[in-house]
A and B are shown apart, each in its own frame.
Chain A
């Protein structure tokens, strides 16, 4: 799978490259997007630059605008640097919570995973695996039931929304050993980005929720960079505690994802066996089909 990507659906998207926290100002960084080697830098003024990689500007050397290759659009949003290798859409999806003054956006790291972005999003939307993959943390046998929830594809905002999701979580409450059902809301506002809202311990009464997000950078059809982060209210935990938690969770999902076959997401309804619990995944696959996405997926036979 090395042929260059020609899919306009994936080309004409903003893609995340790095969290702003991880850019060493003034130096060149290398990355890969859709099989294309790219470089990026933050100059001395704080402005962001992205260009097709060139031997004249190797990684870790000081950024020199005169030597940089063909420029690509660069945009700073949600604490990340985004670029586009096609025709960039005017807007990138909003995350209003990131703008609330009493919240902190904690990037929890970027991780490589040897699977397509679509499989990774689908795993992010899935609750049924909690007791088996995140045993003792997000779920625990025998409490394995995925209760009915609602999924809609919002036409006005072109995003998938799963609401009324709940799942039994051991040690759900702060300072409590007992488990309880925890509520989740899932949002997929971009083909490779998903957010999950989860009741924020101590803020349940106000109905405010923590936000956990995953922005994916498809390096190839089957190798993905997952930018992960969490947006929390009034930090009880240290950054480190949050990072550690998210990394444990992602570390548990990763080998499952890497053992999925095929690695690209099959969009044909008869490729796999869905159950009611997979409603959000089914909606996601349909939504991708409707958009005509071909990169990183196995399109349904027409």
Chain B
């Protein structure tokens, strides 16, 4: 048998994957970490954390994510994408950090995989719909071809009694169908030879019918197959042991191999999804569940948003509400804005279940640190959406947090199911006017505890108020994290000025009516961006010289006063010349 990457082989038994366990498998020399998530999904991954090569089979199956033991990197169920790097708690990992995976199918009491499948998994005709019994697998220290040669002579009996007549019905590469008859009893055994490595194999047997009392049958085959193994190994011992298959590892993306990485962006539409479900979440809030049309949706982290491209040509950002490991869909909540320019209205009125939409991969401008000793999440209205993802993450890792939800009424709040699961961590503040809201916020932010972090998302005025209160109560800027839905400032783009790029040795003119960001992009200067309305902070640049005319809502009062940063999608320059560290 030579390496056949296109073929499907059984690589584990279903019973090898109890919840919260990681099975150590191997196929054609490639080691695999195989684990079942709490939602039942079976993951077959290359057995190597991409960071430092540590086997993931010694990692922790935390139900939604697999955690590497060495540096605590977390990888999501299904996507195998990295969701958190503890050494850099303030950063969102590049979403392209993704373990190598193999396909996985669970069928007939076995887990099947292939290195690079040539075709879709085909169920064996004798097993379709059958109530089968998977036998105890028997590892054999011998080359697969030698195992196959001996497996032909495997002797077993339908009853366990001697004198049965065994015939070989089918034999193909790595597979045998054997039938044993004794009197009027017949048993059919499908015997698969899993090529572990050049000199190692595993015999995996499946009976096409499950006997009434399986235990004696399992024992019978275990004894018979162990005897077969001993014969094979005795012969293998007389032969030269083959060298293990040399395994080459796929290099990581060039982009990842060089430490910094943030893709240039602007609204992107790289994915197509179907609206699998649309439902009324609360007063004026519609829930949407997006599922991939083919393949796997990219990994997200708590705080991430997607750009949703609407049939009317507009694009809007919405935060994902998914819990960690919920990787088979994206969930968002959309508030119908009374003065909607067509974004939320279109989603509420036009988009229907079953529609296909273009969306971007998730991007995260609002990463959640998980090294805080306590985390306070403050949500105003529909600002609850990223907070739900964050709260569920903290909950799953048993990290301390409190979630404060401000809403007009219970009917406006929505998300009962998730909030119900988070239970005691949630406090709701209903129907408060701005003054009462301020008072409550002052109470919540009374004194900052050691290593306490605050995350806020909500309407602009509430965000401003919260940031001001936090500032008064002595919270340092780096402990206050926020995300605006949008910039409600009236943008004045009437000025014209010159922008000099210090590192790129480039001088550009920004005329009235155009933004710094647009001019940068037109001149081929890479600058990531996302909301392009001064709310998200993605396109921040460092100012070396010049007097910025801040029009964003992202920078804090302190940062504005310092004049060292600028949000290039909306802000401009009061002086004639602006020098940026680009």
Residues of chain A having any CB pair with chain B under 8 Å: 122, 127-129, 131-133, 141-146, 255-256, 259-262, 266, 268-277, 282
User: Out of B54, B87, B373, which one reaches A146, CB within 8 Å?
Assistant: B87
Q: When the two chains form their complex, are residues B52 and A272 in contact, meaning their CB atoms are under 8 A apart?
A: yes
CB-CB nearest in chain B for A262: B53
A145 and B86 CA atoms in complex are apart in Å by: 6
Q: Which of B370-401 contact A (CB under 8 A)?
A: 370-373, 399
CA distance A262 to B31 in the complex (A): 11
Q: Which of B31, B48, B54, B71 has the most CB of A within 10 A?
A: B71
Partner of B399, one of A142, A145, A146: A142
- Taking a contact as CB atoms under 8 Å apart, the answer to whether B48 and A275 are in contact is no
Do A273 and B97 form a contact, CB below 8 Å, given A259-B54, A262-B53?
yes
Chain A residues, CB < 8 A from B54: 256, 259-261
Q: How far is the CB of B240 from chain A (nearest CB, A)?
A: 15
The 7 closest A-B pairs by CB, nearest first: A144-B86, A270-B251, A128-B87, A277-B87, A146-B87, A142-B371, A270-B257
A144 to B73: give the CA distance in the assembly, Å.
Answer: 11
Query: Please, which residues of chain A bring their CB within 8 A of the CB of B47?
Result: 261
Q: Is the CB of B70 within 8 A of A144?
A: no
Q: Do B251 and A142 have beta carbons less than 8 Å apart? A: no
- Please report B residues at the A interface, Cβ cutoff 8 Å: 31, 47-48, 50-55, 58, 69-72, 85-90, 97, 249, 251-254, 256-259, 370-373, 399, 451
What is the CA–CA distance of A273 and B253 in the complex, to the nearest angstrom? Answer: 9
**Residues on the B chain within 8 Å of A274, using CB:** 51, 257, 259
Q: DSSP class of B's interface residues: helix, strand, loop or mixed?
A: loop
Chain B residue numbers with a CB within 8 Å of A132 are: 69-72, 86
Contact B55 A259 (CB under 8 A): yes
Known contacts A272-B51, A277-B88; is-contact A256 B70 (Cβ 8 Å): yes
B88-A276 in contact (CB<8A): yes
Chain A residues with CB under 8 Å of B86's CB are: 128, 131-132, 141-142, 144-145
Give min CB distance, A277 to chain B, whole Å.
4
In whole Å, how far is B197's beta carbon from the nearest beta carbon of chain A? 14
Chain B residues, CB < 8 A from A145: 86-90, 371
B259 touches A276 (CB 8 A): yes
A interface SS class: loop
A133 to B69, CA, bound (A): 7
A271:B249 contact, CB within 8 angstroms: yes
- Give Cα A201–Cα B97 distance, bound, in whole angstroms: 40
Is B70 touching A129 in the complex (CB atoms < 8 A)? yes
Question: Please, which residues of chain B bring their CB within 8 A of the CB of A269?
Answer: 257-258
Min distance, Cβ B369 to any Cβ of chain A, angstroms: 8
Cβ contacts under 8 Å, A276 to chain B: 87-88, 259
- Expressed in whole angstroms, the minimum distance between the Cβ of A160 and any Cβ of chain B is 17
Chain A residues with Cβ below 8 Å from B372 are 142
Determine if B87 and A275 form an interchain contact, defined as CB atoms under 8 angstroms apart: yes
Which listed residue, A142, A146, A259, A262, touches B370 by the CB 8 Å rule?
A: A142
Residue of chain B at shortest CB distance from A282: B259
- How far apart are A154's CB and chain B's nearest CB, in angstroms? 22
In angstroms, Cα B59 to Cα A133, docked, is: 12
Answer whether A146 and B88 are a contact pair too, CB < 8 Å, given A259-B55, A276-B259.
yes
For A256, the chain B residues whose CB sits under 8 A away are 54, 69-70
**What residues of B have a CB within 8 angstroms of the CB of A273 in the complex?**
50-51, 97, 252, 256-257
Residues of B within 8 A of A275 (CB): 51, 85, 87-88, 259
A272 touches B53 (CB 8 A): yes
What residues of chain B lie closer than 8 Å to A262, measured between beta carbons? 53, 249
| Residues on B with beta carbons closer than 8 Å to the beta carbon of A128 | 71, 86-87
Most buried by A among B51, B52, B86: B52
Given A142-B399, A144-B72, A261 contacting B53 (CB threshold 8 A)? yes
B241 to chain A, nearest CB (A): 13
24 contacts between A and B (CB under 8 A): A129-B70, A132-B86, A142-B451, A143-B371, A144-B89, A145-B87, A145-B89, A256-B70, A259-B58, A260-B52, A260-B55, A261-B47, A261-B48, A261-B55, A262-B53, A269-B258, A271-B251, A272-B51, A273-B97, A273-B257, A275-B51, A276-B87, A276-B88, A282-B259
